Amino acid sequence: MIQRIQSVYLLLAALLVLAVPVAGGFVTPDSWVWYPPVKVAVSILAGVGCLVAIFLYKDRQRQKRLVTVDLFLALALAGVVLAAWFAASAGSSDLWPSGLPLAAAVFLVLARRSVGKDIELVRSMDRLR
């Protein structure tokens, strides 16, 4: 499980996504009462999804699907954070929290690619039998 590189990618992605709610940020307008709960909920969903995907190493197809869902959640989280940054751009220059889900998305793409390579390796081994 931990010997596979996608496990490392998924762990890094989970850490980055789960760090978004606690990362320093910017003050959103008072009309954005939906922002903190949505940010926390999407972050927890994506982070837990990444951690669950680590332990789906026996079912690689399901792991690949879950990584794809996590990728879309990470991109949605980046969109939510960027939207809040644009709304609060009056005096805020802290853009780095929006980079966390984008970095997680890069790790998720790498994990998805590694899972695909594992699937191809198993298929090639099955052809040899």
- pLDDT tens track for 3-32: 689 999 999 999 999 998 877 665 666 656
Q: How confident is the model at residue 33 (pLDDT cuts 50, 70, 90)?
A: low
3-class SS of residue 43: helix
Structurally, how many domains does the chain consist of?
A: 1
pLDDT of residue 113: 95
Q: pTM of this prediction?
A: 0.86
Which among 107, 123, 97, 120 has a CA at the least distance from the CA of 53? 107
- Full domain range(s) for residue 9: 5-128
pLDDT of residue 17: 94
CA 84 distance to own-chain centroid: 19
Q: How many CA atoms lie within 13 A of 127 on its CB side?
A: 6
